[in-house]
A and B are shown apart, each in its own frame.
Chain A
Amino acid sequence: MGSFVQYTVQGLAAGGFYALAALGLAVIFGVLGVVNFSHGACYMLGAVGAAVLLDTTNLGFWPALLIVPLVMFVFGVLMERLLVQWLLRLDPLYNFLLTFGLTLLLVDLVKRRYGVSGLPYQLPAGLDGNVTLGSLSLSAYQIFACLFSLAVCVVVWAVLTKTRVGMIVRAATENSERTRALGINVTRWVTPVFGFGIALAGLAGVLAAPFRAITADMGSNFVIILFAVVVIGGLGSILGAVVGGFLVGLVEAYGQAYAPSFAQVVIFVLMAVVVLVRPSGLFGREGVA
């Protein structure tokens, strides 16, 4: 039983990264209609960014948690202005392919600059211990990562549902044409939303840095699991991304614990079942495809 709780915490922590990154993916898709293949690469850049920040300026985990997402925001804005915007009018497949090319480019650039072996990163001070609850001993950092990503998801949800900006973004997600017809300048929000989505991927990367191996390839597998997450949750849905993220994190953790050789396969089996039973995803609406 004790180990079960441990796996659950582990799964929720990993699920937090998936949820954060998938949230970014979902928001970008909602407003721009772009599936960003380079989301995994941005997650990797976030983790590498945290490691480089520590190495060059000696700024640790807490400043990185703020600085790296800001830098990634700027990166996302540049990406949208320089590349993505030119293809927005065409079929979404073209931006999918564009960001795929960008992924190859980014991964290989990082590989050549920082090598293929992992960059070092420690658990932040104060979170490196274990929390003991009765007979249980849980990693403090995993609990923090899980709670922190949950908090960010709640904040994003609150912004989306309680503010005017959130209302515009949701309206644009729902029906971009009609929102425009009501006199709202959707185009103005496209660039910041893209930057915000990329910043979320970067934030997930920073959170993952202390307990994942930081390599140029860390995002390659991540992005594919992320796709499974949004297919499970329903790509048009914000809630779907968050629930799907935590669900996949849990499934992966239990898989690793009880059937290690099938841990990754289980996620895709789950996806296959969802596609079979509810093609539009758990929280997706019919006809959004």
Chain B
Amino acid sequence: MTARVDVDLAEGPVLSRRSPLRWVLFVLGWVIALALPWFVYPPVAMDIAAWGLFAMSVDLLLGFTGLLSFGHAAFWGSSAYVTGLVAINTGWPFPSAILAGMVFAMVIAVPIGYLSVRRTGIYFAMVTLAFAQMIYFVANQWRDLTGGENGLQGIPRNFFGIDAIETDAFYFYYVGLGLVLLGVFVAWRVVHSPFGRVLVAIRDNPARVRALGYNVERYKIIAFVISAGLAGLAGGVFAISHGFASLQELNWTTSGKVVLITVLGGIGTLWGGPVGAAIVVSLEDWLASSGFEGTGIILGGIFVLIVLLFRHGVWGTGRQIASWVQRRRRQNTRS
């Protein structure tokens, strides 16, 4: 039973390199990313960017390696804590604190990845979930360091004494966005590299890749660690943006939420991550501001509906429509 998920990446890019629509999407993406804090409350805009990168890190494993990690909160959350601790105790500028958090996430991803890739498919999901819960318990017990149920409060946002960025969420967004975009670039490079092609091949036919002489486990572990690093980067940005890190960041509901965002955006699309994040984060924000407490009812209900009826997600559906239109056009020119 290999993990085979509804993705049609094998067909290659739907829009050709010279297609004008590609450029339109490219420019549109930049405009939205840069203009976001003008339209939504800046901390919410930062949340969207961070969750978007987090979802991309999950998609790197799920969509491009065929591994569903249900324990990515471990990397997002532990990086949030380490980022916070470094920022509080050293007073370094926040990008270096986030770097420390990211490195920490990658370090713990090595043993977790090493053990988890011994199983595939649904087992992989269960094993990663269990390890993430273990990290959660450790953080809960290690009260002196993590503050237990209170979490880490008052994480400073030092940035070379530039007051606007340190205090104003609007300007902070652009520095945070820069860090997130670095992560997005890494994810994009990985997917479009020879290494990424091997990952896709592993997803589609691990036995064959092994027969071709690749060390499948090592590729999976490296992908896992890269993915954990991206999740850690996103978690660090999130912690600095909010000024605190709580146990919630390590909880399995966080792991589930990021998978929800990934599926909603579209598995195996990479760009679906930010789209899904924008939908889920603004929905949650809207629910919270309207005073409705049963967020789980809405999110859970949406999840059930997506999985039943909308498995390709927003981006995946868009891509299907694009390829359908293209095929139609090609048929018309031929006849």
Q: Residues of A with Cβ closer than 8 Å to B?
A: 33, 35, 83, 86-87, 90-94, 96-98, 100-109, 111-112, 220-221, 224, 227-228, 230-231, 235, 261-262, 264-265, 268-269, 271-272, 275-276, 279, 289
Q: For A90, give the chain B residue with the smallest CB separation.
A: B6
The answer to whether B133 and A100 touch across the interface, beta carbons within 8 angstroms, is no
Task: Pick the residue among B131, B133, B253, B263 that contacts A104 (CB under 8 A).
Answer: B253
Write the nearest CB–CB distance from B220 to chain A, whole angstroms: 14
Considering the chains assembled together, what is the distance between the CA atoms of A90 and B5 in angstroms? 8
The answer to whether A101 and B301 touch across the interface, beta carbons within 8 angstroms, is yes
Write the nearest CB–CB distance from A215 to chain B, whole angstroms: 14
The answer to whether A108 and B296 touch across the interface, beta carbons within 8 angstroms, is yes
Task: Pick the residue among B3, B6, B138, B301 that contacts A105 (CB under 8 A).
Answer: B301
The answer to whether B308 and A268 touch across the interface, beta carbons within 8 angstroms, is no
The answer to whether B295 and A86 touch across the interface, beta carbons within 8 angstroms, is no
Of the candidates A227, A230, A235, the one having the most CB atoms from chain B within 10 angstroms of its own CB is: A227
Task: Name B's interface SS.
Answer: helix
The answer to whether B294 and A112 touch across the interface, beta carbons within 8 angstroms, is yes
Q: A98-B308, A109-B297, A275-B118 are in contact. Are A227 and B126 (CB under 8 A)?
A: yes
Considering the chains assembled together, what is the distance between the CA atoms of A111 and B308 in angstroms? 25
Q: Is B321 an interface residue (CB 8 A)?
A: no
The answer to whether B299 and A87 touch across the interface, beta carbons within 8 angstroms, is no
Task: Pick the residue among A94, A108, A264 that contacts B300 (CB under 8 A).
Answer: A108
Q: A227-B126, A268-B133 are in contact. Are A104 and B121 (CB under 8 A)?
A: no
Q: Residues of B with Cβ closer than 8 Å to A?
A: 1, 3-6, 68, 70, 115-116, 118-123, 125-127, 129-131, 133-134, 137-138, 141, 252-253, 256, 259-260, 263, 293-297, 299-304, 306-308, 311
Q: A87-B308, A101-B303 are in contact. Are A111 and B294 (CB under 8 A)?
A: yes
Which residues of chain A come closer than 8 Å to B127, judged between CB atoms? 231, 271, 275
- Given A87-B307, A105-B296, A106-B300, 4 other A-B residues pairs in contact with their CB atoms under 8 A: A91-B5, A98-B304, A109-B297, A220-B252
The answer to whether A231 and B123 touch across the interface, beta carbons within 8 angstroms, is yes
Of the candidates A83, A91, A220, A262, the one having the most CB atoms from chain B within 10 angstroms of its own CB is: A91
Considering the chains assembled together, what is the distance between the CA atoms of A101 and B261 in angstroms? 12
Considering the chains assembled together, what is the distance between the CA atoms of A272 and B303 in angstroms? 30
The answer to whether B126 and A109 touch across the interface, beta carbons within 8 angstroms, is no
Considering the chains assembled together, what is the distance between the CA atoms of A4 and B4 in angstroms? 48
Q: For B115, give the chain A residue with the smallest CB separation.
A: A275
Write the nearest CB–CB distance from A27 to chain B, whole angstroms: 16
Task: Pick the residue among B119, B134, B308 that contacts A275 (CB under 8 A).
Answer: B119
The answer to whether B125 and A104 touch across the interface, beta carbons within 8 angstroms, is no
Q: A92-B121, A112-B293 are in contact. Are A101 and B1 (CB under 8 A)?
A: no
The answer to whether A108 and B297 touch across the interface, beta carbons within 8 angstroms, is yes
Offer 12 A-B interface pairs, CB within 8 angstroms, sorted by A: A91-B3, A94-B307, A98-B307, A101-B306, A101-B307, A104-B299, A106-B300, A108-B295, A227-B126, A231-B119, A231-B130, A268-B130
Task: Pick the residue among A220, A271, A276 that contacts B130 (CB under 8 A).
Answer: A271
Which residues of chain A come closer than 8 Å to B293, judged between CB atoms? 112
Q: For B299, give the chain A residue with the smallest CB separation.
A: A104
Q: For A112, give the chain B residue with the smallest CB separation.
A: B294
Considering the chains assembled together, what is the distance between the CA atoms of A91 and B137 in angstroms? 31
Which residues of chain A come closer than 8 Å to B300, judged between CB atoms? 101-106, 108
Considering the chains assembled together, what is the distance between the CA atoms of A262 and B137 in angstroms? 8
Considering the chains assembled together, what is the distance between the CA atoms of A261 and B5 in angstroms? 40
- Cβ-closest 7 pairs across A and B: A101-B303, A104-B300, A108-B296, A105-B300, A268-B134, A104-B296, A101-B304
Task: Pick the residue among A102, A109, A261, A265 that contacts B294 (CB under 8 A).
Answer: A109
Of the candidates A103, A105, A107, the one having the most CB atoms from chain B within 10 angstroms of its own CB is: A105
The answer to whether A100 and B256 touch across the interface, beta carbons within 8 angstroms, is yes
Write the nearest CB–CB distance from B333 to chain A, whole angstroms: 36
Task: Pick the residue among A96, A105, A224 that contacts B122 (CB under 8 A).
Answer: A96
Write the nearest CB–CB distance from A280 to chain B, whole angstroms: 8
Which residues of chain A come closer than 8 Å to B118, judged between CB atoms? 275-276, 279
Considering the chains assembled together, what is the distance between the CA atoms of A230 and B299 in angstroms? 28
Which residues of chain A come closer than 8 Å to B263, judged between CB atoms? 97
The answer to whether B304 and A96 touch across the interface, beta carbons within 8 angstroms, is no
Write the nearest CB–CB distance from A158 to chain B, whole angstroms: 29
Considering the chains assembled together, what is the distance between the CA atoms of A265 and B141 in angstroms? 10
Which residues of chain B come closer than 8 Å to A83, judged between CB atoms? 304, 308
The answer to whether B296 and A265 touch across the interface, beta carbons within 8 angstroms, is no
Which residues of chain A come closer than 8 Å to B256, judged between CB atoms? 100, 104
The answer to whether A264 and B301 touch across the interface, beta carbons within 8 angstroms, is no
The answer to whether A91 and B4 touch across the interface, beta carbons within 8 angstroms, is yes
Considering the chains assembled together, what is the distance between the CA atoms of A92 and B308 in angstroms? 13
The answer to whether B294 and A96 touch across the interface, beta carbons within 8 angstroms, is no
Which residues of chain A come closer than 8 Å to B307, judged between CB atoms? 87, 94, 97-98, 101
Considering the chains assembled together, what is the distance between the CA atoms of A150 and B253 in angstroms? 32
The answer to whether B294 and A92 touch across the interface, beta carbons within 8 angstroms, is no
Q: For B2, give the chain A residue with the smallest CB separation.
A: A91
